Structure 1
Amino acid sequence: MADTLNVSTYKDISYQLKKSDRKTTSIYIERDGTVLVIAPSPFDVEKIEQIIESKRSWIYKSLAEWEDLNRTRIHREYVNGESFLYFGRNYRLQLVKDQLEPLTFHYGQFKLLDSEVANAPDHFKNFYKTKLQQRLNERLKLYQPKMKLKPASIRVMELQNRWGSCTSKGAINLHWKCAMLPLSVLDYVIVHELAHLEDKNHSPKFWRTIEKVMPDYDEAKKWLKFNGAGMTL
């Protein structure tokens, strides 16, 4: 897993620089609009700047696209009737005066103690983490035998701007926000990270590995691109 080192600027482009054990340098646009450069260490700053310059048009285009997509970002409030995503479907929130737990989900409705509104984000995160971990165990049973790949561990956690990650030790981590995704899109994220167990880069071989078990993976990939910004609390 790459380690964050610093934030740098080349002309008018600010970027986050991370080190990697890979031999090549890659540029990505993260979900928060950050320009991420993953490069081998020790860094050759001059070479990195040359690559950024060569990708300038692509970076501008990608950032403009990111801005367009994020105009539809949803800002939710913890009030009666607000909707929250749970495995691809919207469910309404009801504030209640009395229940044993701060947040519950019953009969297609979230119920939150009105005395816990200030702590609602933490309660939702904990709910999503618990439910996603349970669902992951089910989905892994489906895809591990097909791919003949088994992670050392799989955890649900805060991953900032990534849906998932695969460490050099074979551990897979998924963002708790994956509990908001439709099941088909969640499966794509899982399969994507499983494929990284044998191929750390997004090579043609990597995508073929995914396609073998998920021929329509491109639909889920596009869904994430255009709807990912809506996965918020």
Structure 2
Amino acid sequence: MVVSGIDITIHKSARKTVSIFVERDGSVSARVPEKLEEEEIEEILKAKEYQIFKNLAEWTQLNQNAVEREYVNGQSFLYLGRNYRLRFVEDNIEGLQFIKNKFLINKEEKHRAKELFVKFYKNKLLTKIHPIIDQYKMQLGVEPKQIKIMELQNRWASCTSNGNVNFHWKCAMAPIDVLQYIVVHELAHLIHLNHTAEFWNEVDKILPNYESQMNWLKLNGAGMDL
């Protein structure tokens, strides 16, 4: 649907309110109650025109932090909130190795560098995230059915209606406290699927300072890319 010259992707679900999001790629989406007709949706979105343009302006400002990374010696890559340099070496090493605060890849595998980084982040996130989930699921009194590390395009994580929790492999680039927030956020969705006041109350009970982690993602999310 095009509103005020902006292409907005509409997602209908069993919800009561309309929420508008600027996705990480700059596209705009709206979650709306499934009972609304197209004319009603358009009227509501037009009324929210100021909010949409404000959110787009914020997205543009935040994405000034985007980083164009090249797979060359000395290029920095994020891991758990810190930047580390990449070195291509002649040593007979397998895949990507993280040794003495450096990313090492055999120079013969330079053509596979991005693939090796993705695999590294997936494996590391899997080991880091399970203890965090075990800690907070007890506090929230929930039990996710499945936990997956995967490509989620413009979302850091997702929670399905049947209780599965998915995390983007890029979460391995975030500091541990931010990773804790992402986990708590998704586990709280096992109690409240929508971003209602009750949902944020659940998050606040566990992480009273969660807004600082949210802000870190807003400020640094554009730089969490390969």
Do these two structures clear the TM 0.5 threshold for a shared fold by scoring above it? yes
2:92 is matched with which residue? 99
Structure 2 counterpart of 1:13 = 6
Name the CA distance, whole Å, in 1 between partners of 2:93 and 2:65: 36
Partner of 2:52: 59
Please name the residue that 1:79 is paired with. Answer: 72
| Pairwise CA distance, 1:22 | 2.3
Match of 1:228 in 2: 221
Q: How does 1:1-233 map to 2 (within 5 A)?
A: 8-41=1-34, 44-233=37-226
- After TM superposition, give the deviation of residue 211 of structure 1 in Å: 0.9
1:27-80 CA-partner distances (Å, limit 9, x unpaired): 111111111012233661111111110110111111011111111211111111
What is the count of residue pairs matched by the alignment?
226
Preserved CA contact (<8 Å) 2:93 2:106: no
The aligned amino acid for 1:218 is E
* TM-fit CA distance, 1:93: 0.7
Identity of aligned residues (%): 47
| DSSP-derived class of the 1:160 partner | coil
Query: 1:67-96 deviations in whole A, cap 9, x for unaligned?
Result: 111112111111111111111111111101
> Which TM-score applies when normalising by structure 1?
0.92
Q: Which residue in 2 is equivalent to 1:4? A: none
- Counterpart AA for 1:155: K
Unaligned runs of at least 5 residues, structure 2: none
Output the amino acid matched with 2:132.
R
CA distance in 2, matches of 1:113, 1:160: 29
Secondary structure in 2 aligned to 1:71?
helix
Return the alpha-carbon distance in structure 2 between the equivalents of residues 216 and 141 of structure 1.
20
Query: Any idea what SS the aligned residue of 1:134 has?
Result: helix
TM-score (norm 2): 0.95
Hey, what's the Cα distance between the residues in 2 that align with 1:116 and 1:17?
42
